[in-house]
Each structure stands twice: as C-alpha cells, then as structure tokens.
C-alpha cells in the first residue's frame, strides 16, 4: 500500500501530461502544415524519452521543469545536406512556431532546439533534428556480428560537437528512439497489452488510443521509483548522477514479468549490475538496439559517474531491503521518509486528507509574509526584462542525505542548512540580490527579524544562496535581478516552514 502511495506521489500529474501532449500536438501540426518550409521533406514528428516510455516522474520540487523530448525526422539524404544545415532548417520552423505563439526564442543546444514554455506550464520541449539512417546502422551491426533486428527505425542526428557537423558526410551520429521504445515495450509486452486493452474496454476506446504511460506496468513503476530515489540521493550533484537511460536499460533487462511492483523492484535491484559488460576492460552498458553504442561511455572520462552509479545501486538495495523487512506501517513510513525525503512523504499524506483547510492556511501564511512590517520594499524601479525563479532547494543535516525542499513544504527542524538555486534568462552582466523575510516570536525576541536585501553572486554559472534554520516560524526567500539600476526580474517568495 505504501509503494502505491509513493508511486502516486511521484507521478506526473494527469494535467501535466495533458498540457505536454497538447503542446506536442500543436508543434507537430505547425511543423507538418502545408506552408511549412519543411513540407517538401515530409517531417515525421515523434515522442522519445521517458514521456514515450511511461517512466517520467515529477520533479523533486514544484519549481523544476518537465523535459519533453521530440524527434523531427526529415526525409532527406546525407549526401544532400550537412548536419548543420539540417539543424538550421528545423530551427527556423521551431523559431517561427515560438514567434507565432509569443514565446521566448528557442535555445540552440548541442543536439536539440529547446523551447521553454510559460513558467506555469512547467515544461520545455527539446526538438531533435534527424534523417533516416537504417541502412548504415544495419551494415555496421551486421559487419560486427551484432543484432540488427531493431535497425529499421534508426536515424542520423545532429550534434554540434561532432567533427563533421559543418560538412556533407556519411558518418553522422546515430540514434534509434523508436527502436528503443519498441524494445522497451517488448520487455513487458504481455502485461502491457492486457492493461492497455482493459483501459480501452473501460473507456470504450481503441487500444491504439491508450498511451503506454497509462498502462503502469510494474517495470515502468519500478523505474520511476528508482529514478526518484536517485534524484533525492544526488540532489546536489545533478551533473554526475546515474543517467536515466542506464537505469531504464538495466532495469528492463532485469525485469522478469513480475506482476507486482515490490517483486519487480526486488528482481531489478538484485540483477541490474549483471547486465553491465566488460569490453577490453571498459564498463559497457550496451544500447539494446545498437550494440556498438555504450550508454556508460562517459564513465571513462568521468570516473566519478561510475562510482556514483555503484554507490546509488548499493544504497537503493539497502533502502528497499529494509523496506521489505519493515513490520509496521510506521516503520515503513519512516524508511520512506529517510530515502525519499520529507516532501515526498507530505505528498503521500496529502492524498489521504482534505485540502480546503490547507488552502485557507496557505493564504493566511502568504498574507503574513507579504504584510510583514519589517519587509523592505524593493528600492529599484521595475522594468520588464525577463524572468528568474528558484528552481531547486535542499536541506542539509549532519549525518543525513541532502533532502529536496518545495516551497511551503512540511516543517523542518531548526539547526539545518539550506541551499537555494535560482536560474534566470537575463543576459549578464547583472546584479543579484536575495531577500529573506522571517516571522515568529523567537526571531522577534532575539531582535533578529530580517526583511532587507543581501547581495548575491554567480557561482559556476548558478545563482546560489546558503541559509540556516535558526528560528521557528514561517519564513520566505526571494531572488531579485537588477540590471543597469532597474529591477528586471524577481522570483516570487519561496516559503520555508521551521518548527
């Protein structure tokens, strides 16, 4: 029962799936419309990644984004177009789509075009330009005596770091998201078909209308739990945490058609590392659709990533072994809190109680912070410029793993250290300021009420602020961006409750 509640707490809300699907379909309609500059190349749009596989999870905090991955496959040949030209062709239509909908200019990433949606939408779409390349992948695999059964849907993709990016050539980077999705579904084919059929029958729809994510096969659920466990464990080391494609691949290879999530977790955690090969002394997590590709190739260049994977695997084994052995709900709840954080536990509890009183309490807290007499008004003249938001926060206590925080989450104890991370789209140079507003009798008695502005700075490309939980009460922190003497962006208050 607790595993079910945990899964509900980390699920992508249905509303977010619907929002992302509407945005995806809108982009598809734009890219494939008759007036599109790509129409002669017959663009084929498709989802890839966790939204397609049904393994997406909600971010650790309500301030983080969902990542929706899309492939735009054009029916062109490699001897007619350079990768850089293909990237520009797709980018031109992504940009025009953004202008048509009054959106920000998309970012030209290493492989994709990234289109950010409004903050309240809480997601962005990465569009990957591609062309068909089944023949080359089949040749390469068969030449090495490897399985080429998934090669039919292989694609060549753009990558700005590739040496041949600007020239017409035959050696493009390869990928196969459709083939990978088909392989992944094959690992749970029987149960997936049964669950999709049952949903279709209950809703009087065809099976084809039921997306994979709604099936909730134990393999998908187990991967969601493992990814969330990983995110909590590496909240302050996002760069070197185990990547999702490795977890997903090893989990799918270990899955043995279990019909319950706990038993699927047990088998997957027991066997995951058995599917890591050794090729010439190198750890190799083979792409099941392309045995020449190693998902763990960065472990050589960044050995800490290999270390972190095995540390995470052992931590996950230990945590779930203890959870399996819990004899009471209270004991199991405590273990979930230690492994997944206070915020996750609060989400689980929220599903078992009404929210009307909670909403009234939240409104009262917002008024308390907004009207605090010691809260200084911003001294700068507002000017439209862009946005800034606190996208990540964490709690640090000696002897415990860092825990993620969401704004206005459950109360935390005094004596903890807090870290807040903000990101902005304002171009540098600019000035950063943070405003902490605390409340409560303890801070007032100690004559330590705060409400002024502290100068911030940029550390390794991040806007980061450290604070501590010294006084009980309802407190807030807000980030301000000032450019040329004008207030061009403010994040809004991030609320912290201290018991």
pLDDT tens for 422-451 read 999 899 899 999 999 998 888 888 889 999
| pLDDT at residue 176 tops 70 | yes
* Predicted pLDDT at 357: 40
Beta-strand pair 473-483/66-73: unpaired
pLDDT at 484 over 80: yes
The predicted-structure confidence for 465-480, as pLDDT tens digits, reads as follows 999 998 988 899 999 9
The sign of the torsion formed by the CA atoms of 128, 133, 136, 142 equals positive
Q: How far apart are CA 464 and CA 456, in angstroms?
A: 8
| DSSP structure class, residue 152 | G
**Among positive and negative, which fits the CA dihedral 203, 205, 207, 208?**
negative
Query: Predicted confidence band at 172 (pLDDT cuts at 50, 70, 90)?
Result: very high
pLDDT of 355 > 50? The answer is no
Q: Distance between CA atoms of 265 and 316, rounded to whole angstroms?
A: 10
Q: Which of 161-175, 207-221, 340-354 is predicted with the least confidence, judged by mean pLDDT?
A: 340-354
Structure tokens at 246: 């490795």
Rounded to the nearest 10 degrees, what angle do helices 177-186 and 189-203 cross at?
90
Q: Among candidates 146, 460, 80, which has minimal Cα distance to 293? A: 146
Q: Which two tokens stand for residue 366?
A: 């917002």
Give the integer Cα–Cα distance in Å for 471 and 439.
8
pLDDT, position 310: 96
Domains, the chain: 1-186 (3.30.460.10), 217-353 (no CATH), 371-498 (2.60.40.10)
Average pLDDT value for the chain: 88
List alpha helices for 326-423, DSSP H.
329-350, 356-370
pLDDT band at 356 (very low <50, low <70, confident <90, very high): very low
User: Using omega within 30 degrees of 0 as the cis cutoff, is the peptide bond preceding 286 cis?
Assistant: no
Q: In Å, what is the CA distance from 381 to each residue of 482, 486, 487, 491?
A: 9, 5, 6, 16
CA distance 247 to 235: 17
The pLDDT-based confidence of 257 (bands split at 50, 70, 90) is very high
38/36 Cα distance (integer angstroms): 5
**β-strand 486-490 against 381-382: which pairing, if any?**
parallel
For 365-419, the pLDDT digits (tens) are 667 787 888 999 999 999 988 889 898 899 988 777 788 888 887 788 888 899 9
- Give the per-residue pLDDT at 245: 96
């Amino acid at each position: 029962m607790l595993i079910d509640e945990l899964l509900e707490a980390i699920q992508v809300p249905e509303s977010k799936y619907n929002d992302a699907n509407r945005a995806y379909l809108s982009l598809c309609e734009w890219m494939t419309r008759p007036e599109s500059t790509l129409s002669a190349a017959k663009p084929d749009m498709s989802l890839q990644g966790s939204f397609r596989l049904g393994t997406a999870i909600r971010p650790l905090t309500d301030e983080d984004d969902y990542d929706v991955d899309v492939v735009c496959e054009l029916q062109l040949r490699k001897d007619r177009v350079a990768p850089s030209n293909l990237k520009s062709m797709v980018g031109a239509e992504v940009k025009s789509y953004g202008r048509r909908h009054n959106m920000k200019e998309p970012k030209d990433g290493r492989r994709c075009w990234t289109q950010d949606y409004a903050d309240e939408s809480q997601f962005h779409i990465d569009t990957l330009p591609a062309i068909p390349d089944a023949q080359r992948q089949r040749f390469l695999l068969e030449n090495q005596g490897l399985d080429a059964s998934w090669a039919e849907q292989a694609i060549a993709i753009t990558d700005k770091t590739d040496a041949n990016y600007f020239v017409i050539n035959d050696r493009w980077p390869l990928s196969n998201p459709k083939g990978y999705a088909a392989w992944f579904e094959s690992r749970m084919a029987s149960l997936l078909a049964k669950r999709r059929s049952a949903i279709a029958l209950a809703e009087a729809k065809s099976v084809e209308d039921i997306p994979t994510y709604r099936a909730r096969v134990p393999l998908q659920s187990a991967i969601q739990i493992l990814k969330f466990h990983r995110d909590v464990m590496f909240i302050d080391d996002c760069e070197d945490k185990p990547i999702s494609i490795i977890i997903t691949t090893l989990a799918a290879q270990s899955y043995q058609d279990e019909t319950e999530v706990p038993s699927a977790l047990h088998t997957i955690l027991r066997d995951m590392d058995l599917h890591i090969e050794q090729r010439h002394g190198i750890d190799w997590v083979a792409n099941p659709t392309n045995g020449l590709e190693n998902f763990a190739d960065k472990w050589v260049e960044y050995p800490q990533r290999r270390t972190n994977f095995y540390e995470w695997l052992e931590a996950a084994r230990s945590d779930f072994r203890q959870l399996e052995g819990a004899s009471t709900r209270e004991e199991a709840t405590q273990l979930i809190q230690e492994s997944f954080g206070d915020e996750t536990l609060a989400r689980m509890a929220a599903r078992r109680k009404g929210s009307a009183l909670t909403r009234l309490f939240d409104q009262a807290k917002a008024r308390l912070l907004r009207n605090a007499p010691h809260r200084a008004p911003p001294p700068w003249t507002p000017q439209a410029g862009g946005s800034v938001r606190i996208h990540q926060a964490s709690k640090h206590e000696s002897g415990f793993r860092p825990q993620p925080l969401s704004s206005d989450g459950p109360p935390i104890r005094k004596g903890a250290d807090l870290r807040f991370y903000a990101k902005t789209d304002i171009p540098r140079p600019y000035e950063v300021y943070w405003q902490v507003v605390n409340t409560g009798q303890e801070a007032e008695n100690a004559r330590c009420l705060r409400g002024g502005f502290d100068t911030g700075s940029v550390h390794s490309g991040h806007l980061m602020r450290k604070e501590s939980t010294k006084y009980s009460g309802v407190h807030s922190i807000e980030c301000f961006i000032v450019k040329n003497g004008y207030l061009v962006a403010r994040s809004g208050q991030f609320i912290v409750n201290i018991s």
